[in-house]
A = this chain, B = another copy of it.
Amino acid sequence: MRPLFHPAIEDVQPEAILHALSDPRRAAIFARITKAGCVEACSAVSAVGDQVIPKSSLSSHFKILREAGLIRCERHGVEMRNHSRCAEVEARFPGLLSAIMNAYAAS
């Protein structure tokens, strides 16, 4: 399997990050990956709140997060490990991710 595309941190665009996180389900997925020590399988987040997410939708959510530069995905056997790129993104856009996650937590 060919390795998945990940943008270099300097190619990461604010609009892509805002678009990715403007969906509360994606924001919740990203928050969970970031909190969970930066490693988790995709299907581990098969539901957000009480809402079940079909796996085709889930797959596209992960793709959007990945292409926005928010997560890094690599296959380990049959499952995927998802690492948060939180630290890299924070270095490039200081305060952005923490402010967004705080805003969701406060709402």
A83 to chain B minimum Cβ distance, whole angstroms, is 21
Segment touching B, from A32-40, A48-56, A73-81, A87-95:
A87-95
A12-43 interface bits toward B, Cβ cutoff 8 Å, 1 = contact, 0 = none: 01110111011110010000000000000000
Q: Which of A87-107 contact B (CB under 8 A)?
A: 92-96, 98-100, 102-104, 106-107
A: interface residue count bin = 20 to 34
Residues of chain B with a CB closer than 8 A to A102's CB: 93-96
Neighbouring B residues of A21 by C-beta, 8 Å:
18
B100 contacts A94, C-beta separation under 8 Å? no
Query: Chain B nearest CB: distance from A64 CB in Å?
Result: 12
